[in-house]
Amino acid sequence: MNVNLFSDTQTRPTAAMRRAMAEAEVGDEQRFDDPTVNLLQERVAALLGKEAAVFLPSGTMCNAIGFRLHVRPGGDEVILDRTAHPVQYEAGGPAALSGAMLRVLDGDGGIFTPAEVEAAVRPPGDRYGPRSRLVSVEQTTNIGGGRVWPLETLRGVVDVAARHALRTHLDGARLMNAVVAGGVPAAEHARGFDTAWIDFTKGLGAPVGAVLAGSGDLIAEAWRYKQMMGGAMRQAGVLAAAALHALDHHVERLAEDHANARRLADGLGAIEGVRIDPSLVETNIVVFGVSDAYAVCGRLWERGVQVAPLGPERLRAVTHLDVDDAGIERALTAFRQVLGN
Ligand SMILES: *Cc1c(COP(=O)(O)O)cnc(C)c1O
């Protein structure tokens, strides 16, 4: 039996989620006539402590629209970590769609400090440099290894941004993992951020969709970009119903994914040839070193265990609702076979 640790995007909607989708009341969402979409937007706005929210097809579009809302095209600079999703996986979207310069910081596991932001902000009135405009943060960090930003670090970054009149954006693709791991409500993480969003297609297990939240004015403007980018939908209530079902049934259970990730990390730590510090595994992502990542990855796939290479010497394994304890044991057995101990 396969153990799919490639990503938490690999989940299939459960039977109960599919039932909720089938039974959803729907309408034309872009005319605000879909009651299920409207309800989801209200719930996520409240969850994140914002005035309004908009349902979008993907987290990538949440980042694209978030950036576009804040950045004035033509040389504004976005401060973010080197490993951040918009830097690595959005097909150059920040440049193409927002005309943004990216100022990448070398954070620790994707987490940078308020002092590093302070040092990266361009002097005001400097006509030589780009204009600092936006700070973007990932909670949890993805390629950084599923790390959780401490609340005081988030607050410190927001404070520095405010002092320099910079906008702030919270990429909360896995924000609910941080909430469950640390017991801090989502709205506290999102406090002070101009825009924040959560994804429903990661550990929450829905097939499609993410929701971007912010002030009423920003979200009204976001609808304009949603239309422009082709993200406006029609009877999207069938999708929103899956997201609502996920909020009701798939949040607390993220703790199981975290326990499984920790078990995997501890097991990997005992295998010779694996470089990992299991104490850094806080949520559902396990990033670790091996000497030939592509070959190891290929041999694991032959044994039915899917993990993702992040480079020549790094692999990533992600736990989610379709992986149980037995799956973790099977994965560890495959690792021991492949690494020969
Ligand atoms: C997955 C992910 C995204 C993009 O979300 P999609 O729904 O896959 O488009 C953005 N940021 C982070 C940190 C992610 O992990």
Question: Which residue's CA is the closest to the ligand 1 atom numbered 14?
Answer: 173
Question: Which residue's CA is the closest to the ligand 1 atom numbered 2?
Answer: 173
171: nearest Cα among 184, 153, 154, 152: 154
Helix, strand, or coil (residue 70) = helix
Ligand 1 atom with the smallest distance to the CA of 90 is: 4
The pLDDT, as a whole number, for residue 271 is 96
Ligand 1 atom with the smallest distance to the CA of 210 is: 7
Are 207 and 13 contacting, i.e. CB atoms less than 8 angstroms apart?
Answer: yes
The pLDDT, as a whole number, for residue 48 is 98
Neighbours of 329 (CB within 10 A): 14
Query: Is the minimum distance from the CB of 142 to ligand 1 under 6 angstroms?
Result: yes
Query: Is the minimum distance from the CB of 199 to ligand 1 under 6 angstroms?
Result: yes
Per-residue pLDDT of the chain (341 residues; tens, 9 = 90+): 799 999 999 999 999 999 999 999 999 999 999 999 999 999 999 999 999 999 999 999 999 999 999 999 888 999 999 999 999 999 999 999 999 999 999 999 999 999 999 999 999 888 999 999 999 999 999 999 999 999 999 999 999 999 999 999 999 999 999 999 999 999 999 999 999 999 999 999 999 999 999 999 999 999 999 999 999 999 999 999 999 999 999 999 999 999 999 999 999 999 999 999 999 999 999 999 999 999 999 999 999 999 999 999 999 999 999 999 999 999 999 999 999 86
CA of residue 185 to ligand 1 center, whole Å: 21
The pLDDT, as a whole number, for residue 340 is 83
Query: Is the minimum distance from the CB of 7 to ligand 1 under 6 angstroms?
Result: no
CA of residue 85 to ligand 1 center, whole Å: 7
The pLDDT, as a whole number, for residue 216 is 98
**E strand or H helix at 310:** strand 308-311
Cis geometry, peptide bond prior to residue 140 (ω within 30 degrees of 0): yes
Query: Is the minimum distance from the CB of 85 to ligand 1 under 6 angstroms?
Result: yes
Rg of the chain's alpha carbons, rounded to an integer? 20
- Residue 99: left (phi > 0), alpha (psi -120 to 50), or beta? left
CA of residue 234 to ligand 1 center, whole Å: 23
- The answer to pTM > 0.85 is yes
Query: Is the minimum distance from the CB of 138 to ligand 1 under 6 angstroms?
Result: yes
170: nearest Cα among 214, 124, 227: 214
